[in-house]
Structure formats: C-alpha cells, structure tokens
Chains A and B, each alone.
Chain A
Amino acid sequence: MTEKLFARPKSLTDVSTHYCPGCHHGIIHRLIAEVIDELDVQDKTIGVAPVGCSVLCYDYFNFDMIEAAHGRAPATATGVKRVHPDAVVFSYQGDGDLAAIGTAEIVHAAARGEKITTVFVNNAIYGMTGGQMAPTTLVNQVTTTSPYGRNPNFTGMPIKMSEMLATLDGAKYIARVAVNNPVNMIKAKKAIKQAFEIQLNGLGFALVEVLSICPTNWGMSPLEAVEWMEKNMVPYYPLGVFKVPEEVAK
C-alpha cells in the first residue's frame, strides 16, 4: 500500500507552461492552486488573467477564468464579484499591468474595499514584450528602454505599490513575499492563503505582492537572478505584512 505524498493540485491543469526556465510564475501559480484546493473553493473560484507574461494563465488554472485588458483586471474582477458575491474572485497581475497602465484600477478597487484578492507579481521589468523598464525597475537597472540604467532624474523612483495601497482603508491585507527559497515559499503560501481568507470572510480587499525573477530579460542564469533579487530587490522592496486585520494577525 503506497501513500501519495505529493500530487498536482486539482486547481492546476495538466499542461506544460510556456514560462522561461527559472521563472517564478510557475511556483506562484502552484501556491495559489494549493491554497484554492485547501480552502476547497475550486468550484466557485473565478480568476482574472492579466496582459503580460502570465496572459495565458487561464490555460494553467483549472477553474473559470476571464482574460482582462491590460491593467483592467481589478475592474473586471469587480464586475465578476458584484455579480457573484459568493464566488472567490482574484486577479493575477504583473508590475507593468498593475503598477503602470492599471494604477487607477488597482487603487480604486482597494479604496472601495472590493472583496477580491490580487496576486501581484513584481519582477521589476516588462517580460512579455522583451525587457522594457517597468515602474518597479530599480535605479540603475539596465533594460531595453533604460539602456544606460534607470535614471531617477528622468524616470523617478520605483513605485512601492504595497506600501502605497496599505494606506487605503479599503485594503485589509497587504503583504510582500518572495519565492526565492523554501522558507519564503512557505511564508508566501501563508500570505496568499490569508489574502483569500480575508475575501471569504468578507473583510475587504487583499493583495499579496510576490517578488519574482526574470532570468531571461535580466540576462542572468536563474541562480544569478535569485542572488540579484536578494541583493537588490529585497532591500528596496522589504518583505513583510504591511497591513492585516487584528482578528487575523492574532
């Protein structure tokens, strides 16, 4: 008699993803799927996919999905949630999607206290279009549209979305995590689970920012990319829970 100790979550489809070697999207997808399974809400979950590298995530999640226009996922998710208040609705967005073109939508979804969950994947670059500067690109970071390194005199400083959103009353849970090592993955999963529980308890808006690597567009091996992230991103984008309801914090 053998016991199955590890299996693909029900909430993931059995297909290979298109993500580059080393990319963190796959890990983050899996953590979300595990959480959906553990909360036993697969049958009433509706995900909203972004425009960006994870545009095809509707092929990987095994529940109802809507593909949104670039940046508009929080508005689309709002429409879905207002039709089905009992459903579990989340948006999955990258930094170009959420922190540039979709800034108004994420801010107002949070301000309204929209009872949705957002997973925000921040890899400090536009991946799908081939490595352009994002609002979260670090100072001096070289991209195809900041070929001499990001110059804050002309482009300002990188936006810290979690800190900004945490100032809004409607945002009930805001955390920044990373999936660069097993310990952080466990913490990331816990944060994602809490963000969904906030929604299930009807408390308001919840967002988890996940720092992620982009070896392809950073021009590094996956291992180098993880080191670069730890050395450069984590100091500017500190990990932690920025906002949590008292009853959840315990």
Chain B
Amino acid sequence: MAEKVLMKGNEAIGEAAIVAGCRHYFGYPITPQTELTEYMSRRMPKVDGVFLQAESEVAAINMVYGAAGAGARVMTSSSSPGISLKQEGISYIAGAELPCVIVNMMRGGPGLGSIQPAQGDYFQATKGGGHGDYHNIVLAPNSVQELVDITVLSFDLADQYRNPVMILGDGALGQMMEPAEFHSSNTGLVKKPWAAAGMRGRGKPNIINSLYLQPEALEQHNIHLQRKYALIKENEIRYEEIKTEDAELVLVAYGITSRIARSAMERARAEGMKVGMFRPISLWPFPEQQLAKSAENASALLTLELSAGQMIEDVRLSVGNIKPVHFYGRTGGMMPSPQEIYQEIVNIMNGKGGK
C-alpha cells in the first residue's frame, strides 16, 4: 500500500498496527483516543483479528499480558487516566519481558483533568510508571505519517527486545488529519519459542512470570533487565535536528509541540535570529549525547512542553549546568500559539528569558 491516504491520527495508528501484523487489540473507550478503539472494532473482524472491548483499562492491559504471553502481536490504547490504570499491568509485562504496544494519546491532568491535548505524562511514560526498576521504550511522533511509521516500528522493537513499547502522542495528533502511506513491518512476525502457547510437543512447559521469591534470583533478573536497557540505549536513540549547526538558541520539543515550535523557529530565522530545534523522537531512551552535541555551540536552550516542565529535567541532565535551559509550557489542554513561542525566543535572544 504505497499510495497516500488522508487519515485521522488515531485511525492511522489502528491501520498501521494491522499492517504490522497485529491481530489482537484490547481497549476501553476514553477521549481523545476513542476513534482508535472504534477503528479496531471495524477493522479487526475484516482481517480475522480479535477486537475486544474490556470492562476496564485494568482488564484490557491484563488481556494484553495474556495475549502477549501466548505469543501474539498485541496492542492496547488509552489516554492519560486510563494509562494510569494500566500501570500495574505494564510493570508485570516489563517484568515478564513480554512484547506489546501501548498507545497513550495524552490529555490534560492531573486527575480527571480535561480531554484536550497535553504532555503531562512524560514522567510516567519515561521513568517507569508502575512499580519496580523497568523502562518502556517510549516513542513520540509528531505527524500522522510518523504515527504510522512509529506504530509499525514499535511492534518490531517490542518483539526484538521483548519489551513494552509506548507510543506517546496527544489529543491533537490523534484528532488531526494528514496524508500518510503505509509500509509493512521490517521483521514481520517472529517466532516466539518462549510463549505459553501450549506445549504442543515441546516436552517442557513454558512459564510466563515476573515472580522471583529468592532475592538472589530477582537481583539477577534485574541485572539482566538493566543489560537489556543498556542495549536499547545504545541502539534505539531517535531524534531530529533542524538548523542546529549555527544555532545560538536551540529549541527542544517533542510531539505536537515541536510542530508549533518549528513555525516559531522559522519566523525567527526569517528575521535573522540563529535559532534551531532538536526534537527527541525516542523519549526513552532519551538522546542525551546527541542533544548535548547538537547544542554544543549554542548559548542557551528553550524547552517547550504541554506541561509544567517534565522533559526539561532530561534536557538539563543532557547538557549539564554549563548553559541556561529556559522553559515555556502550557498546561490543562491549552496550546501555545507560534506567536507565544516566537515571543519567548525574542525575549531569550534579547537576554530577557524566563526561568
């Protein structure tokens, strides 16, 4: 399927999952990602797949745990409050090393919050989220085409590392329509000899589990997980740099915010200000060294988020305390206009930057 089709972000994720060979989807309705759940309910029966509307997000993620443990390519999706409910299951999935794809189309929080776009779940997504020492691979697209490509990639990475992959989008990405084309999975469906699929002549049971009652054994398991995370850090950093070579000010933004930031950056450039942009695509692993290098010659950075400041901690860890890292964010479902960001750029360039 090489032709471009005009699709809503949420639906494009669904189609991309099917193209990637996902035939099991377990979900629960929540705004602003419900179109994805609805799309799967329409599409899965047409491709001999399974769509199941669970009784809760908790049940949905535990169905994912079962399906992943049984060897399937499987996905669930939700939005912020629903993702909080899934955290227990995600911890078990990470602990048992099962591959799956979890979509979070973020909305304003905390609590019930709002149904408008936000990026307030960055900490939850990138620092673990549930209990225990674990990491999801977290990918943050900024267009419908990238939602598609990253969805397909997510299934491959999940299988390759036997690790949950979270696609971190937001209400705006989910709702907007853009043309996209679909390319199939690189690895395709892989063999999973470890899955609990019934012994079927294997002779020895497979056990899917995250319980290690002996502390020595659990420590060994954690060491094994950390080795895997180190490997992921080495191999799976993704980012985009725009006009950073000569930039005095480097904007750092991901997802929908990077689209607005780019407009503001282009305007500032047109007016002769040396502004560039660094866009992390993998939020975990975070492109620490790449950002540090990208901002090597800059005198300041400006982190832009739809939050009160979460990714900025990783930005500061990346560049150290040698240059100022400014922040501008909106919360609650409010989006900054390109004009607002442009004004921040002007203020910093004039030496009047904010915090």
Residues on A lying within 8 angstroms of B by beta carbon are 42-46, 48, 55-56, 58, 61-69, 72, 75-84, 87-88, 104-105, 107-108
* Complex: A108 Cα to B28 Cα, angstroms: 13
A66 touches B205 (CB 8 A): no
B112 cross-chain contacts in A, Cβ below 8 A = none
A43 cross-chain contacts in B, Cβ below 8 A = 198-201
* Complex: A63 Cα to B92 Cα, angstroms: 21
* Complex: A42 Cα to B205 Cα, angstroms: 10
B62 cross-chain contacts in A, Cβ below 8 A = 68-69, 72, 75-76, 79, 105
Tell me the chain B residues, 68-85 only, with Cβ under 8 Å from chain A: 68-72, 74
Q: Which 4 residue pairs of A and B lie closest in terms of their CB atoms, listed nearest first?
A: A79-B66, A79-B67, A76-B66, A75-B62
A107 cross-chain contacts in B, Cβ below 8 A = 55
The listed residue (A58, A64, A76) touching B198 by CB distance below 8 A is: A64
B199 touches A58 (CB 8 A): no
Say yes or no for B52: interface residue by CB 8 A criterion: yes
B198 cross-chain contacts in A, Cβ below 8 A = 43-46, 63-64, 84, 87-88
> Which single residue of chain B is at the shortest CB-CB distance from A41?
B198
Known: A65-B205, A65-B208. A48 touches B59 (CB 8 A): no
* Complex: A62 Cα to B211 Cα, angstroms: 18
B204: shortest Cβ distance to chain A, in Å?
9
B64 touches A79 (CB 8 A): yes
B63 touches A78 (CB 8 A): yes
B211 cross-chain contacts in A, Cβ below 8 A = 55-56, 67
B24 cross-chain contacts in A, Cβ below 8 A = 79, 82-83
B201 cross-chain contacts in A, Cβ below 8 A = 43
The listed residue (A44, A48, A62, A108) touching B66 by CB distance below 8 A is: A48
Known: A66-B209, A72-B62. A46 touches B67 (CB 8 A): no
> Which single residue of chain A is at the shortest CB-CB distance from B69?
A66
Known: A63-B198, A63-B205, A65-B208. A83 touches B70 (CB 8 A): yes
Say what secondary structure dominates the interface of chain A.
helix
B65 touches A83 (CB 8 A): no
> Which single residue of chain B is at the shortest CB-CB distance from A79?
B66
B207 cross-chain contacts in A, Cβ below 8 A = 58, 64-67
Say yes or no for B197: interface residue by CB 8 A criterion: yes
Say yes or no for B220: interface residue by CB 8 A criterion: no
Say yes or no for B168: interface residue by CB 8 A criterion: no
A65 touches B196 (CB 8 A): yes
Contact with A along B263-291 (1 / 0, CB 8 A): 00000000000000000000000000000
Tell me the chain B residues, 161-208 only, with Cβ under 8 Å from chain A: 196-201, 205-208
B70 touches A46 (CB 8 A): yes
* Complex: A179 Cα to B146 Cα, angstroms: 59
Looking at A45, A64, A69, which has the most chain B CB atoms within 10 Å of its CB? A64
Tell me the chain B residues, 37-74 only, with Cβ under 8 Å from chain A: 50, 52, 54-56, 58-60, 62-72, 74
Known: A79-B74, A80-B67. A67 touches B199 (CB 8 A): no
A117: shortest Cβ distance to chain B, in Å?
15
A75 touches B54 (CB 8 A): yes
A13: shortest Cβ distance to chain B, in Å?
8
* Complex: A43 Cα to B68 Cα, angstroms: 19
A sample of 15 more A-B contacts (CB under 8 A), given A75-B54, A79-B72, is: A42-B199, A55-B211, A64-B196, A65-B206, A66-B196, A66-B207, A67-B96, A72-B62, A76-B62, A76-B69, A82-B67, A83-B74, A83-B197, A105-B58, A105-B59
> Which single residue of chain B is at the shortest CB-CB distance from A45?
B198
A80 touches B69 (CB 8 A): yes
Say yes or no for B328: interface residue by CB 8 A criterion: no
Known: A65-B196, A80-B66. A108 touches B72 (CB 8 A): no
> Which single residue of chain A is at the shortest CB-CB distance from B213?
A56
> Which single residue of chain A is at the shortest CB-CB distance from B26?
A79
B199 cross-chain contacts in A, Cβ below 8 A = 42-44, 63-64
> Which single residue of chain B is at the shortest CB-CB distance from A58?
B207
B206 cross-chain contacts in A, Cβ below 8 A = 64-65
B52 touches A78 (CB 8 A): yes
Say yes or no for B88: interface residue by CB 8 A criterion: yes
> Which single residue of chain B is at the shortest CB-CB distance from A85?
B50
Known: A55-B211, A79-B26, A79-B63. A64 touches B197 (CB 8 A): yes
B208 cross-chain contacts in A, Cβ below 8 A = 65-67
A250: shortest Cβ distance to chain B, in Å?
30
